[in-house]
Structure 1
């Protein structure tokens, strides 16, 4: 049934309204980063600062070691996403294409990671990292994010692997490909929408997490952005202009990752409906 012109107009109006509501806090954050504290308190909802100046951003790099926070967040997030993508893709390929009596149990084991919040095991995790000598190291965060991100990634990728025709693998094996070559050269390029979804979900989780860096990182030079920005909150006074500048800079990598993987992400969300 075709949608009438009036109905489509209403849909566009509602869509643009939601877009404006969603973008307003982001634009307000960016605008506030160019204001002084006085301007923020006098006109907190204004989108236009009195003058555009980069002085706030320059002071941010002087007041706090923001460069260290930024590099730590990038290192932790990129390494976590890379390990999650590699391990979850191989595990999903095995679960989707090899049928043994323990395959169902193994798949359920991964699903348990979705059912049980990892924060419930904070005490055993703390003891484990201390025994491994990783307490106070960025690798403790990478290991935790990798372990917590694999279950949802395996769940997503296994479903995509199962939708691929088995005839593709049979043709590849006739041409002389082994299991790894079938996985790497034939199937993996076909699940790019799912990989884009996995990358975005896990990158945002690792980038924005505040809980685990607060527990496992004690050195100021190794703090990530969410924990490092806490130094801007004073006991009696907070420099909101510096805080908004830091939030703006910290949001740029997430926006960049989403723009690069947005096409695959959208295809991954709609693949089930199309198939």
Structure 2
């Protein structure tokens, strides 16, 4: 009887502990989810305010900035002025050309450099890799004056080519450092098998590329966001109306004596839409690529 009683007591104690542990886990999960919801609302709320106010008149924006558009405040005049008064279509095209061109060029050059630095064991490879890591810490804007002098000597001032070259140089250090971690994780047997079958170095790299696809997606995402949103270099290197990007074109709706807030908010909404869509579509690859790159 005593043994049976002790066994029942131990079973009851273990059950109680398990129940307390589950309750504690549930409470912790609820707290974490609650904090994530709060952070998400804090991040999304300003975006929603911008989008809602872009469909209002100027008086309604200042009188009821957080209210939904109604029959008295709803207006799409701001969007109409974006396409009539401004050059939004041209700005949009220029931003696409610069962003896509810089991203593609960055991916190609970073892939070649990262594969070479991880595959070929030469003395200066660690030094070059450290040089690229150093480039991550130094902001490219510190070299604005030399960049301007270089573009003037190359006759590239006020061209989209100048922006593509600068953004590619700006994005390469981080892209190479990130891709190097992925190429190091590729099994050597895969590359050796390709070489035994007669594949050249370029062909070997293309065989390995599917194995580093998350890294390529992460590099593309990290490269596109700052390029699309940048204002500094478009203002300096391509300020003319025919070469303006979206971020620079938005400035024409802000003046010294008159601010067209509906058009300004409409242009911001249209300019941010492609990045939001791309991030929603490729968010899983983006997070997976960054997390795996950090983990490696």
User: Are 1:28 and 2:49 an aligned pair?
Assistant: yes
Tell whether the 8 Å contact from 2:56 to 2:76 is kept in structure 1 after alignment. no
Q: Aligned pair 1:162/2:181, yes or no?
A: no
Q: 2:137 aligns with which of 115, 122, 125?
A: 115
Write the distance in 1 (CA, Å) between the matches of 2:245 and 2:159: 12
In structure 2, stretches of 5+ residues that fail to align are 1-20
> Aligned with 1:266: secondary structure?
helix
- The answer to whether residue 100 in structure 2 is matched with residue 78 in structure 1 is yes
Larger mean Cα displacement after TM superposition, 171-180 or 207-216? 171-180
Give the deviation of 1:194 after TM superposition: 0.9
Alignment of 1:54-93 (within 5 A): 54-93=76-115
C-alpha deviation, 1:174, in angstroms: 2.4
Q: Is the 8 A contact 1:195 1:264 kept in 2?
A: no
Shift of 1:274: 6.6
Cα deviations across residues 52-111 of structure 1 (Å, max 9, x unaligned)?
A: 543321221011011011101010000000000000011000111111112112212222
Equivalent in the alignment of 1:241: 262
Structure 2 residue 76 is the aligned partner of structure 1 residue 50: no
1:178 counterpart (178, 200, 205) = 200
How far apart in 2 are the matches of 1:207 and 1:272?
24
Q: Does 1:94 align with 2:150?
A: no
**Alignment partner, residue 195 of structure 1:** 216
TM-score by length of 1: 0.94
Please tell me whether the aligned partners of residues 196 and 262 of structure 1 are also in contact (alpha carbons under 8 angstroms): no
Aligned mates of 2:294, 2:249 — CA distance in 1: 42
Look up the match of 1:138.
160
Distance 2:175 2:294 in 1: 20
In structure 2, relative to structure 1, the CA distance for the partners of 1:158 and 1:233 (3 Å cut) is same
Aligned residue-pair number: 273
Structure 1, 25-34 or 109-118: larger mean CA deviation: 109-118
Unaligned runs of 5+ in 1: none
Counterpart Cα distance in 1 of 2:100 and 2:269: 20
Q: Tell whether the 8 Å contact from 2:77 to 2:262 is kept in structure 1 after alignment.
A: no
Partner of 1:251: 272
Where does residue 224 of structure 1 map in the other structure?
245
Cα separation, 1, equivalents of 2:239 and 2:287: 39
Once the two structures are superposed, residues 230-264 of structure 1 have per-residue CA deviations (whole angstroms, 9 ceiling, x without a partner) of: 11112112011111100000001111222332221
Contact 1:96 1:162 (8 Å CA) reproduced: yes
Provide the rounded CA distance (Å) in 2 between the counterparts of 1:187 and 1:263.
21
Q: Which runs of 4+ in 1 moved over 3 A?
A: 51-55, 272-275
CA offset digits 1:158-208 (Å, max 9, x no partner): 011111111111122222221111111x21111111111111111011101
The answer to whether 1:261 aligns with 2:282 is yes
Q: Which residue of 1 aligns with 2:18?
A: none
Whole-Å separation in 1 of the counterparts to 2:127 and 2:294: 28
